[in-house]
A and B are shown apart, each in its own frame.
Chain A
Amino acid sequence: MPHDHHDHDHPHTLLPPDPALRVKALETILTEKGLIHPAALDAIIDTYEHKIGPRNGARVVARAWSDPEFLQALRDNATKILDEMGYSGRQGEHMVVVENTAQTHNMVVCTLCSCYPWPLLGIPPGWYKSDAYRARAVREPRAVLADFGVALPEGTAVRVWDSTAEIRYLVLPMRPEGSEGLGEEALMELVTRDSMIGTGLAQAPV
């Protein structure tokens, strides 16, 4: 059997120990070799700082609450309908939407790395990438929810989705009481990022 050859060779030790200087060293050598273009780096950063974020997911949720045909299209083939909305691409190539009900609360984690639906939610928050969340979400989701100030009714089961493949999951939170009659834009305001990961609930209208 071939053995993995990575284990005795850690090239990052050739770089400066300070992470900011490590980034600088990588950017310098890759630029000198003609392998990266600083303007392309700026464009990537601009995309995830300003263009792609959780308001995309919030729009999807608000529309699913308002439009039964759209909800059905999400159930039938989320990847297809989200692609039509322009919410597809890197780390969201294959999408599944899971619906919270009074019986089942869904929560998403990636225990092996930090897989996350980037086109809908943007860059994952720090806690999603933390050891604590990755280690605990599958074993004690209710204790993790308590860290977010969320307590579920005793009759609600938790279903935790560990993103072990290239399928990305978006939680469809329950529509809050008192939100009847609100339009899509107003509903979007109630949809937090955490409610679409399953560590939060949609907010009640003020």
Chain B
Amino acid sequence: MTRVHDMGGRFGDGPVVPEAEEVKFHADWHPRALAIVLASGSLGTWNIDVSRHARECLAPKDYTAFSYYEKWMGGLAALLVQTGVLTRDELAGLGDAQISDLATKKLTADQVAGVLARGGPTERDSDVAPQFAIGDAVMTRAIAENTMVAGGHTRLPSYAAKATGRILRYHGTHVLPDSNAHGLGEAPEPLYAVIFPAAELWQHPEHPRDEIVLDLWQSYLEAV
């Protein structure tokens, strides 16, 4: 079984509402929430896969009710406590907050441009050789779950489980989120863009020639 964030293909969500390009944020606190999450991330106590998993682990009723930046804050609160950056009492505003040992890593205004410009590239050298070539037919895992940790992070959506497609592009070897989200190492391996006919994924595709492409790691795939 999957988690609440894995919603690709779900029915019942209603219309998509377009928005003017000038609109950046929808409430005064949104930019602050964005900035707090990014600044906290630069302390280096978690990586992007850990932080995505923290958001995915919100209770389904919260995940559904929360706006985007509320999910970010919910994830941040979990990360701060789980990694020991804050105690639960500190988060609750109880007691005297002392300066953290991590304060030396605090992001300063003059570092912001450099940190954002560097980002977090995920391409790594790997001992795992590419097993597939462009055009090869592949099938995805039958169960879209993390194979190492029950309820763990994975990037195979459930709608694309046990589906047959073909390799469209090779992206090089990249950090494996299923491992990196759980302190099990970066475990880089080949990453591919895999293309599926819409009819392979949906009972009622809109058009016979429509296609869906997903970026999938080699260990999600087997040869057909």
Contacts and interface: CB of A to CB of B under 8 A. Distances in A.
A178 to B, nearest CB: 22
A22 B155 CA distance: 29
Interface string A85-118: 0001111111010000000000001011110000
A19 B69 contact: yes
A92 B120 CA distance: 9
Given A34-B106, A126-B26, A90 B120 contact: yes
Interface in A39-57: 39-45, 47-49, 53-54
B171 A165 contact: yes
A143 B78 contact: no
B90 interface: yes
A114 B25 CA distance: 15
B143 to A, nearest CB: 14
Contact of B91 (A23, A29, A126): A29
Contacts of A47: 112-113, 116
29 contacts: A2-B148, A3-B150, A3-B151, A4-B149, A6-B82, A10-B58, A11-B91, A14-B91, A19-B29, A20-B28, A23-B73, A28-B93, A33-B85, A33-B103, A37-B109, A40-B39, A40-B106, A40-B112, A45-B34, A45-B35, A48-B24, A53-B21, A92-B119, A93-B119, A93-B121, A94-B123, A94-B171, A143-B206, A158-B207
Contacts of B98: 33
B169 A6 contact: no
B137 interface: no
Contact of A22 (B7, B73, B103, B217): B73
B193 interface: yes
Interface string A122-133: 110111011111
Given A6-B53, A12-B78, A126-B23, A160 B73 contact: no
Contact of A113 (B36, B55, B211): B55
A39 B91 contact: no
Interface of B: 5-11, 13-19, 21, 23-29, 31-36, 38-40, 43, 48, 52-55, 57-59, 62, 64, 67-70, 73-74, 76-78, 80-82, 85-86, 88, 90-93, 97-100, 102-103, 106-109, 111-113, 115-123, 148-152, 155-157, 159-160, 169, 171, 174-175, 177, 182, 191, 193, 195, 201-202, 206-207, 209-217
A20 B55 CA distance: 19
A206 interface: no
A36 B103 CA distance: 8
Contact of A45 (B31, B97, B107): B31
Contacts of A186: none
Contacts of B97: 29, 32-33
Interface in A116-172: 122-123, 125-127, 129-136, 138-144, 147-149, 157-167
A204 interface: no
A122 B57 CA distance: 27
Interface string A156-198: 0111111111110000000000000000000000001110000
Contact of B8 (A3, A94, A162): A162
B21 A192 contact: yes
B24 A88 contact: no
A73 interface: no
B7 A4 contact: no
Nearest to A139: B9
B68 A114 contact: yes
Nearest to B171: A167
Contacts of B86: 29-30, 33
Given A14-B91, A167-B171, A35 B43 contact: yes
